[in-house]
Amino acid sequence: MNWLNVFGLVFVVLLLIPNIIYAIKDKNKQNKCTNKFMNVIEQIGRYGCMFLMVFNIGIAEFGFGSVYAFLIYLFGNTLLIILYWIIWILYFKKHTYLKQMSLAVIPTCLFLLSGITMQHYLLVLFGVIFGMGHIYVTSKNRED
C-alpha cells in the first residue's frame, strides 16, 4: 500500500466534511469572483493537492527525512485541522471576513506543511497554486 497515504486521506476527508455541510446548507451560494483564470487556478490547486495528499505517485516526493519531520507533519496537521473545524463552527454561527479568510489560509498551510515535511515538492507547488487561487477567490467572495 505504498501508493496510498492513509494519514493524507484522513486529513483530506476532515477538510472536506465542513465544506460539504456548508455546500448543503447554502445551496444557492454564487461565486462572486469573475476572474476565470483565478477560479481555474484555485480548482487545479485544490484537486492537485487533494490527489497528492492521498496518492504517492513517485514524482518529486522523497518521504519524511526524519522521525521529527513525521511528527511535525502529524501534530502540525492535526492542530491545523482542529483549528479549521473550530473556525468552521464559529463561521456557521456568524460569518465574518476574518473567519472566511482563515478558512482559506488554513488548508493552504496544511498542504504546504505536508509537502515540506514529506519532501513532496510537487505537493508544495500545488499548495502554492491553491493558496494563491483560493485566497484570491475567497477575498472576492467577501460576506461581511
Query: Is the CB of residue 11 less than 8 Å from the CB of residue 114?
Result: yes
Q: How far apart are CA 144 and CA 137, in angstroms?
A: 15
Per-residue pLDDT of 121-134, as tens digits, reads 999 999 999 999 99
Do residues 110 and 81 touch, judged by C-beta distance below 8 A?
Answer: yes
Task: Supply the pTM of this predicted model.
Answer: 0.93
- Residue 144: predicted pLDDT: 67
What is the grid cell recorded at 132?
A: 494563491
Cα first-last separation, the chain: 46
pLDDT digits (tens, 9 = 90+) for 48-67: 999 999 998 877 677 889 99
Name which of 31, 29, 20, 54 is nearest 126 in CA terms: 54
Q: How confident is the model at residue 109 (pLDDT cuts 50, 70, 90)?
A: very high
pLDDT band (50, 70, 90) for residue 35: very high
Per-residue pLDDT reduced to its tens digit, 72-97: 999 999 999 999 999 999 999 999 99
Report, as an integer, the average pLDDT of 98-102. Answer: 97
Q: Mean pLDDT over all residues of the chain?
A: 94
